[in-house]
């Protein structure tokens, strides 16, 4: 009986704590950041090629931002499609395939890039900070960012190449 009372007390205290205004404000600000049409969180990461890749406001071209890990089956499944789409659209779009290195091994990420012959930049999120900013909870997760630096689309899971092609055309057509 004492254990049940203690459990109910802890659950009740947790619920009361979560509904404090300042806690709710933090949760709502995090959610609002990633709503379609809102500005994408800014970041700068070093890539496998040692160049710096960043997202900071307006851009010359829209951006496909793909979060992945080498052990992820759906990431392996979509890699050839991303490669093909990049080769078709590299004049109109930038592609960053962010390896969430905090959930992966650098050697495995390098093998993955070589295996699938990925020609686009591979920024390394070694601390997982950018994945947290973008609230990535599953791999792959892909964001389409327009020229104004705003989130146009969020796709969780493996892309469907035909549907994704249509979404890319729509993104390219935006001002």
- 52-92 per-position pLDDT tens digit: 999 998 999 999 999 999 999 999 999 999 999 999 999 99
Per-residue pLDDT, 163: 94
Q: At what angle do helices 2-18 and 21-33 cross, to 10 degrees?
A: 60
pTM above 0.85, yes or no: no
- 7-33 per-position pLDDT tens digit: 454 445 444 444 444 334 334 444 445
Nearest 10 degrees: Cα torsion 52, 54, 59, 60: 20
Per-residue pLDDT, 33: 55
**CA–CA separation, 85 and 92 (whole Å):** 11
Nearest 10 degrees: Cα torsion 157, 34, 149, 165: 20
- 145-165 per-position pLDDT tens digit: 999 999 999 999 999 999 999
């Amino acid at each position: 009986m004492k254990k049940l009372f203690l459990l109910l007390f802890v659950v009740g205290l947790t619920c009361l704590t979560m509904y404090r205004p300042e806690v709710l404000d933090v949760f709502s600000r995090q959610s609002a950041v990633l709503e379609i049409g809102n500005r994408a969180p800014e970041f700068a990461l070093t890539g496998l090629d040692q160049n710096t890749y960043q997202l900071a406001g307006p851009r010359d071209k829209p951006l496909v931002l793909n979060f992945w890990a080498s052990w992820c089956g759906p990431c392996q499944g979509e890699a050839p499609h991303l490669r093909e789409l990049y080769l078709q659209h590299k004049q109109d779009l930038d592609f960053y395939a962010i390896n969430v290195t905090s959930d992966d091994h650098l050697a495995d990420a390098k093998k993955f890039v070589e295996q699938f012959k990925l020609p686009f930049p591979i920024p390394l999120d070694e601390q997982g900070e950018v994945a947290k900013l973008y609230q990535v909870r599953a791999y792959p997760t892909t964001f389409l960012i327009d020229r104004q630096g705003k989130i146009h689309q969020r796709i969780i899971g493996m892309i469907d190449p035909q549907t994704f092609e249509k979404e890319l055309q729509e993104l390219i057509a935006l001002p």
